[in-house]
Amino acid sequence: MATEKQKTGFAAYMGTTFLIGFGFFTMGLMDPLYDTYVPIFLRRYVESNALVGAIMTLDNVLQLILIPIIAVWSDRTRTRIGRRMPFIVVMLPVSAVLFYLLPMAAAVSLWALIVLLFCFNIFKTSVRGPVVALMPDTIPGDYRSEANGVINMMGGVGAIIGTLGLAQLMKISEGLPFTVAGGCIILAVVVLLLFVREKLPEKTAAAEKPVPVFKAVKMAFTAGNSSVPRILIALFCWFLGYEGVKPFLGLYMVEVLGVAASNAALAQGIVGVASVAFAVPVGYFAHKLGRKRYIRLCLVLVTVILLLVPACTILARSLGMGPAGLLVLCLGLLFLFGAFWIGITVNSFPMLWQLADFGNMGIFTGLYYTFSQSAAIVAPPITGLIIDLGGYQGIFVFSGLCMLAAWFVMRGVSAGEAAAGEAAAGEAAKRV
């Protein structure tokens, strides 16, 4: 006989998902403040933009190294409050305090700021793996696409509040937005500790033996199923395309479309708004159509949109369209890009988690970040060189080709669907 939770579907897990989403919400608050104001703090002491950029890549490098290590460590942890929560209740509050101190360090000296940035990024990066892995630990595989949509939405809402709300507090005091964000992080930790309960699987609660890290990684790649490496290679390709375009969207708006510098941030802003609006629906869509099928559909549509951006720009200019018209046209295309891009990111993590078990959930989480952050580090120099050699239009072609490569790689994926619909969705996916 079906349980009440099985009858109600994802609705039974909605409350837990929102509680876990508070962790992502706080990260969404921090990221725009960090990305916007830390370069400003650094420029008070450093004239070289290249050096500022190098310091700003510190978090990407640490994510590549620390997220897999800490996520695996949390896999092997057993405590009264769970295996992820000990990391969360220690590292998130420390991150909050260090984040609060950033403006003060910036007022002291360059070295004080750099040391604090290093410490802050260690704690903030280290806690990401356990926070992310907490969701698949508590939500059944059938509903992880929907759950990942909810927590992505909460992270996106946090980013919007951080950009449009907390950033405005800089007019009152330079430290005020960092103080408010730090307070929200502490509150989120309290909520997670009080209301989210981690549970060991009934069959492996006491007898489970942790698998050595390198053995677990080797098993993920040599388990007789090529789906894991294919998903990882595909996500490297699509993040290579995304991270290659993202840093240069503002410059494209200003230098190619002739938009005022004050409106340059609208490009990434509209992508963020679309991602928040569609984060939850795309989880449900993928549950109906199959995750692989929906991801490949989104990859095709994203490729078309990326190629349309330069094509429509050239066509609109030939028809005499001015900067205002070009801005509206570009923002419309970017809104569609955000709507389909979130369909890819929301459903790719659940596909990996579906192929993991309780003992290596953190390892699979770490592998996701290893491949995605590698792309984030490699992509900007490549697209920067493309701009230098052939202009801004080339980066959209490069990004489109990356998405198309991911589409081909995903064709060979044969697992990772929600368990309840694995067979039906798998058969449908094979026909795509």
Q: Please, what are the averages of pLDDT over each run of 10 residues along the chain (432 residues)?
A: 56 86 82 80 80 77 83 83 89 94 93 93 88 85 87 86 78 88 91 81 52 66 76 95 86 80 73 89 90 96 94 80 79 93 92 81 84 89 88 92 96 80 40 40
- For residue 412, the SS3 value is coil
Q: How far apart are CA 420 and CA 143, in angstroms?
A: 10
- Over residues 145-156, the pLDDT tens digits come to 889 899 989 888
Q: Give the DSSP per-residue string, 43-69.
A: HTT---HHHHHHHHTHHHHHHHHHHHH
- Predicted confidence at residue 222, as pLDDT, reads 66
Helices (H), 246-322: 249-255, 266-289, 291-318
pTM for the complete prediction? 0.81
pLDDT for res 23: 79
Distance CA 305, CA 105 (A): 43
pLDDT digits (tens, 9 = 90+) for 114-127: 999 999 999 998 88
Instruction: Kindly report each contact of residues 203-211 with a partner whose C-beta sits within 8 Å and lies 24 or more positions away, as own/partner.
Output: 204/358, 204/359, 208/358, 208/359, 210/75, 210/76, 210/359, 211/359, 211/360
pLDDT of residue 261: 66
pLDDT at 2: 45
Q: In the chain, what are the domains? A: 9-199 (1.20.1250.20), 213-432 (1.20.1250.20)
Q: Apex CA 56: angle with CA 51 and CA 57, to 5°?
A: 100
Task: Give the pLDDT score at 223.
Answer: 59
The per-residue pLDDT for 161 is 82
Distance CA 5, CA 171 (A): 48
Tokens of 7: 């009858």
